[in-house]
Amino acid sequence: MGLENQDQEEREPFLKKVRRYGFLPALRAVSRGFFMKTRWLWLTRFWGMDIHPDTLISLKALLDRTNPRGIHIGEGTAISFEAVILAHDTIRDMHECDTVIGKFCQIGARSFIMPGVTIGDHCVVGAATVVTKDVPSGSVIVGNPGRIVRTGIMTERWGRITDEGEPAAKR
């Protein structure tokens, strides 16, 4: 499905969605969009996080509110449920550090992004991955601790892979 079709589907009037999918699924889709936009406004305006408007952040994702101004999320990034993004660590005396997630990334379910980490553009973080070090652009990272398993990938909006790149060199 191309980006144009996807945008058109998102803007489809409510009554057309009701006829196409039924009342409850259409209501759920409309209300989810409303809640996600409201949450984005809350996170950016009230907490001061730097989050691009074209992000898809699960309502169950956990973003650090101890140092909210240290969280930066780029355009077209998707963050799955129960992912944790931290911007402070009292144990390592990192109270005000920046955690940066680039453009067009996918952060998998139940992943941990540790404070001070920078994830480059067009990256995919696998489910339950613990990211402890910076990740270069165009990489797939999985595991605990996170290891790069693929490089040179290209992604589009919300981290969908369009070019699979090549396997990372074994170390």
User: Could you read off the pLDDT of 55-89 as tens digits, one per residue?
Assistant: 999 989 999 998 899 999 999 999 999 999 999 88
71 and 154 inside one domain: yes
14 vs 128: CA distance, rounded Å: 36
23 vs 156: CA distance, rounded Å: 31
State the pLDDT at residue 119: 97
140 and 155 inside one domain: yes
The domain total for the chain is 2
pLDDT-derived band at 146 (thresholds 50, 70, 90) equals very high
Residue 91 has pLDDT above 50, yes or no: yes
State the pLDDT at residue 26: 86
68 and 37 inside one domain: no
Smallest Cα–Cα separation from 168: which of 141, 128, 133?
Answer: 141
What is the CATH number for 68?
2.160.10.10
User: What is the residue range of 23's domain?
Assistant: 1-46
115 and 37 inside one domain: no
Residue 115 has pLDDT above 90, yes or no: yes
Q: What's the sign of the alpha-carbon dihedral 12, 40, 76, 142?
A: negative
pTM, whole model, 2 decimals? 0.83
